[in-house]
Structure 1
Amino acid sequence: MSKLLRVLGGLVQTVVTFVVLILLAIAAFYVTVFVVSTGAGLAGYDPSGDFVVLAAALLVVAALLGGVPFRGLTEAPEEENARDPTTGFE
């Protein structure tokens, strides 16, 4: 019974986290659309809504990918005979 409750608790936590992150992403997108539109207006441009949405989407995706930890891609393998990254020697 305890194992089932742990699994269900983990599932509920995952669903709640997913919903919160989706809501935050939508809010960030609306703020970014406002910033892009206002910035274009201040610069003297009058872009169509398509370009404003495209620019906002690219900025939001870049911000989301900027927060992804690529820890596994940058670490050297932990071996006894691993080379020293500063000298290149063992």
Structure 2
Amino acid sequence: MGILDSFGALVSSIIASIVLLVFAIISYFITVFIVQVGAGLAGYSPGGDFVVLSAAILATGAIVAGSTPMSSLGGFTE
């Protein structure tokens, strides 16, 4: 049964990777929309390249911050 358990773990990690990739793409598109609307509300008219760059930086920061364990900052131990 060790091979079947390993295969199940492999399939579950592949599915988790696909789901995380889909969520990252969705959050990137939402961030592009937020940056574009926020710049419009502030009276700016940035080019598309600056909107994409700032959205990429914000989305990357959010994904990295969400994946790091925060229990060490709160003083909690497992």
TM-score for the superposition, normalised by structure 1: 0.74
> 1:47 is paired with a residue of what secondary structure?
coil
Alpha-carbon distance, 1:58 to partner: 0.6
What is the match of residue 11 of structure 1? Answer: 10
What is the match of residue 38 of structure 2? Answer: 39
Mark the structure with the bigger radius of gyration. Answer: 1
How many positions carry a matched residue from both structures?
73
Give deviations 1:17-69, integer Å, cap 9, x for gaps: 00000000000000000000000011111100100010001101111121212
Larger proportion of helix? 2
- For residues 52 and 33 of structure 2, what CA distance do their matches in structure 1 show? 10
- For residues 18 and 6 of structure 1, what CA distance do their matches in structure 2 show? 18
Task: Show the 5 A alignment for 1:67-86.
Answer: 67=66, 68-69=68-69
Alpha-carbon distance, 1:71 to partner: 6.3
Across the aligned residues of Structure 1 and Structure 2, the Cα RMSD in angstroms comes to 1.6
Task: Show the 5 A alignment for 1:17-28.
Answer: 17-28=16-27
Question: Which structure is richer in relative contact order (CA contacts within 8 A, separation 6 or more)?
Answer: 2
TM-score for the superposition, normalised by structure 2: 0.85
Q: Give the unaligned 5+ runs of structure 2.
A: none
Percent identical among aligned pairs is 44
Q: Give the unaligned 5+ runs of structure 1.
A: 76-90
